[in-house]
Amino acid sequence: MTPPTTNMPTNDQVRARISGSALQRAFDYFAVQEPDRTDFRAAAQRIHDDADMCAQVAEIVARLWDGMGRLLAWKQPELPAAFDPQDRAAQVEARFFYPVAFAATLPDTLAFHRTRAIPDSASRAILADVGRHLRVFERTFGRTGLHVQDWFSLHFRGLIYDFGRLQANLERLDAPADQLRAAEAPVVTGSVVAGVHIPDSGPLRPDAVDAALAGIRPFFARHFPELPAISTAHCMSWLLDEQLIDMVPGSNIARFCARWRPIGPATDGDASVRDFVFRRPYADPADLTASSRLERAILAHWQAGGHMRSRSGWLKLPGAVPS
């Protein structure tokens, strides 16, 4: 456990942030739908009434506050798991511990956004990712909850924003120098780049991707003017596996994949694909069935002894000065 910090709210402050109109405001910013809203509210009430859980929420608020706007390594600050997503007996206050903690952090995140002149519409657009992930959790596990708290550390520390079809965060590139040189990337280890993410929000049409990429550089230049201009985007995803170009030829996925120059060796992507494509992260591939071209191609690939990969890659953002 980290020592208490000066930014630790009291239990009464936590209670005020997770009840009444403050909770309703969090639902609005997070775009929480039913049945998540009912369970979120039940969890907030239980945590409100339990001094130990209020103190645990206060600890999370303090960690996120301390990391506000800071480009920390991935999975920093540490946000320990509140429950095992495979545990069907996990109680609502565990499944919604982090959504409640994020509601308690919301005033700090919005205050940070305002210091950066981020418009309210942009705050709402990125924080609606909470509601989206609550829906994804139910699709995946058949009940409500949230288990990707590390991902949301970017949102609640004011580092990630919504660009329409893509999201992008400020990221310090940690790829080794030799890999960046081999990839002819115009950046060095430690450069600040835009980390690109693809939300589960419908088709990945190339024109929508173009529009999203075009917005990234001016946004960060306007709201984070002290940083060097962000000229390079970085992405780490199963969507950058070049095998996809032949597996789903001519598709949005194939065209997205082809935009990126690979950095370093590929890593195992089977688990990512079980999660992001089949939404069955713990399933035995033999139990999966296909209902789309992509799924049929992946199952055939696995049956033939192949593996899917995750890849890291870079591209030059539109408007970037040639190196």
Ligand X SMILES: CC(C)(COP(=O)(O)OP(=O)(O)OC[C@H]1O[C@@H](n2cnc3c(N)ncnc32)[C@H](O)[C@@H]1OP(=O)(O)O)[C@@H](O)C(=O)NCCC(=O)NCCS
Q: Which long-range contacts (CB under 8 A, 24 or more apart) does 248-254 make?
A: 248/293, 248/294, 248/297, 251/293, 251/294, 252/203, 252/204, 252/205, 252/206, 253/204, 253/294
Instruction: Tokens for 271, please give them.
Output: 């688990």
Nearer to ligand X, 9 or 269 (CB): 269
Closest separation between CB of residue 57 and ligand X, Å? Answer: 28
Tell me how far CA of residue 26 lies from CA of 23, 57, 97, in angstroms.
5, 15, 14
Is there binding between residue 134 and ligand X (CB under 6 A)?
no
Determine which residue in the list 103, 239, 257, 317 makes contact with ligand X, applying CB under 6 A.
239
Is there binding between residue 293 and ligand X (CB under 6 A)?
yes
User: If DSSP codes are grouped into helix, strand and coil, which group holds residue 167?
Assistant: strand
Closest separation between CB of residue 278 and ligand X, Å? Answer: 7
What are the two backbone dihedrals, phi and then psi, of residue 250, each rounded to the nearest 5 degrees?
A: 75, 0
Determine which residue in the list 237, 241, 243, 313 makes contact with ligand X, applying CB under 6 A.
237
Site string for ligand X, 150-189 (x = CB under 6 A): ----------------------------------------
Dist CA 93 CA 42 (whole Å): 8
The DSSP bridge pattern shows strands 167-172 and 160-162 to be antiparallel
Determine which residue in the list 45, 224, 251, 301 makes contact with ligand X, applying CB under 6 A.
251
Dist CA 169 CA 194 (whole Å): 5
Closest separation between CB of residue 273 and ligand X, Å? Answer: 9
Shortest CA distance to 34 belongs to which of 129, 124, 125, 135? 135
DSSP string, 94-115: HHTHHHHHHHHHHHHHHHHHHH
Closest separation between CB of residue 296 and ligand X, Å? Answer: 8
Is there binding between residue 294 and ligand X (CB under 6 A)?
yes
Instruction: Tokens for 234, please give them.
Output: 């970085």
Nearer to ligand X, 16 or 294 (CB): 294
Span of 7-15, 58-66, 115-123, 289-297 interacting with ligand X by CB under 6 A: 289-297
Closest separation between CB of residue 146 and ligand X, Å? Answer: 16
Determine which residue in the list 245, 277, 288, 320 makes contact with ligand X, applying CB under 6 A.
277
H helices present in 128-247, as ranges: 129-141, 149-156, 177-182, 206-223, 243-247
Closest separation between CB of residue 139 and ligand X, Å? Answer: 11
Residues between 201 and 230 with contacts to ligand X, criterion CB under 6 A: 203-204
Dist CA 122 CA 215 (whole Å): 12
Span of 1-9, 82-90, 224-232, 247-255 interacting with ligand X by CB under 6 A: 247-255
Shortest CA distance to 159 belongs to which of 275, 57, 77? 77
Question: Which residue has 């798991």 as its token pair?
Answer: 81
Span of 30-38, 43-51, 77-85, 248-256 interacting with ligand X by CB under 6 A: 248-256
Nearer to ligand X, 184 or 200 (CB): 200
Determine which residue in the list 61, 253, 263, 308 makes contact with ligand X, applying CB under 6 A.
253
Amino acid (1-letter code) at residue 313: G
Nearer to ligand X, 53 or 239 (CB): 239
Determine which residue in the list 2, 10, 24, 292 makes contact with ligand X, applying CB under 6 A.
292
List interacting residues with ligand X (CB under 6 A). Answer: 198, 200, 203-204, 237-239, 248, 251-253, 276-277, 292-295
